[in-house]
Amino acid sequence: FGTLDVRLKALAALHAAGLNAIPVLKEFLADRDPLVRETAADALLAAGGIRAIPVLKEHLALEKDKDVIFSILNGLGKVRNRAGMDILVSYLANPNEDLVVAALNSIAKLRSATVHADVARSLADPRWRVRAAALDAVAALKLNNLDSAVTELLMDKDAFVRFSAVKTLTAISAKKAAPKLEEAFLREDELKGAVVAAYGRMDMALPASFGKAMDGKGPDVVLSVIEALKDCNEKDLKLAERFLDDENPDIACAAVRLIATKGMKNPKHRARIIAGVRSGKREVVLAALESIRIDDRDALMKGLLQATAAGVPAEALTSSMADSTLDALIGAFAAAVSDSGFTPFV
């Protein structure tokens, strides 16, 4: 009785009765309204957990509405049970790709490695969304034994699948795929950032070939690579060095932020950042200021910067400082303020 909204709210609230609600909710699976059936199925899983799975399995054999089936498959991903997993696997060959994707997403949530053969078949599915969902499942389940199949998808005809393959190889730490990842970097601009991130997260040194491959690339590609270098080791920052003086301020500042954050212990990097600050370019100075980290001396640095902004000579600021990095930075900031008319925001 009541409006549809009232009925749906009442059904959803029934889960609080636990196992006692199962017989009542089961009756509503036969309702003519698919929204009622969907709500009843959700409430069944919430109320009964694994006890509700036989009821839903029986119902799925009769259910025709794709939205109701989709909701049940999603719900099965919240209940760890072999029977529920078997239901999900049975949908991996379904002609409706939305249902296959829903099944794969739920399989990934259940963290069971016993389905590797079923997921492997989905990696070869002709539908790109299914292949992408299968890659996500491989990553979530850490199915390392499927690394070869995943590597093959670096050559997939679909761009999103290729991108997902890079991420999945990273997730399963497939270091032996490094040569294929290098080929992907050299071949495809859209994958460059993802490949650099993969090398960093798998703690692999970047190949020398990456440097030349960046020549003449557009801002979007360069920025994606600089962003990905945050995951790499300090020695790989040389890939970003070439962009410190880039004519595009967005690229130059991104490189400054990266190297100022991760590379100040390297004298070469430190000198480049200081040179950038001395250039007096407002955006470069700001990028350095917000990124340089000097251990346990943030308060002192702020005070020194405020004094510099007030016009105190650089010599007076640095004469008592023993730390060469701090000395050099303060000198650079003082020169920037003096030569460029920069107005600090501190």
Residue-wise pLDDT tens digits, 34-44: 999 999 998 89
Residues 328 and 312: their CA atoms lie apart, in Å, by 16
Q: How confident is the model at residue 215 (pLDDT cuts 50, 70, 90)?
A: very high
Give the single-character DSSP code of 196. Answer: H
Q: What is the pLDDT of residue 336?
A: 59
CA 6 centroid distance within chain: 40
Residues 228 and 220: their CA atoms lie apart, in Å, by 12
Alpha-carbon torsion angle 42, 46, 49, 52, nearest 10: -40
What does the angle CA 43 – CA 48 – CA 49 come to, to the nearest 5 degrees?
Answer: 100
Give yes or no for residue 342 having a pLDDT over 70.
Answer: no
Give yes or no for residue 321 having a pLDDT over 50.
Answer: no
Give yes or no for residue 131 having a pLDDT over 90.
Answer: yes
CA–CA distances in Å: residue 121 to residues 11, 104, 124, 217: 38, 12, 5, 37
pLDDT tens-digit profile of 43-73? 899 888 899 999 999 999 999 999 999 999 9
- 64 or 332: which carries more pLDDT confidence? 64
Q: How confident is the model at residue 1 (pLDDT cuts 50, 70, 90)?
A: low
Handedness of CA 322, 323, 328, 331 (dihedral sign): negative
Q: Are 221 and 185 in contact (CB under 8 A)?
A: no
Q: Are 291 and 256 in contact (CB under 8 A)?
A: yes
Handedness of CA 158, 163, 164, 168 (dihedral sign): positive
Amino acid at residue number 298: D
Give yes or no for residue 186 having a pLDDT over 90.
Answer: yes
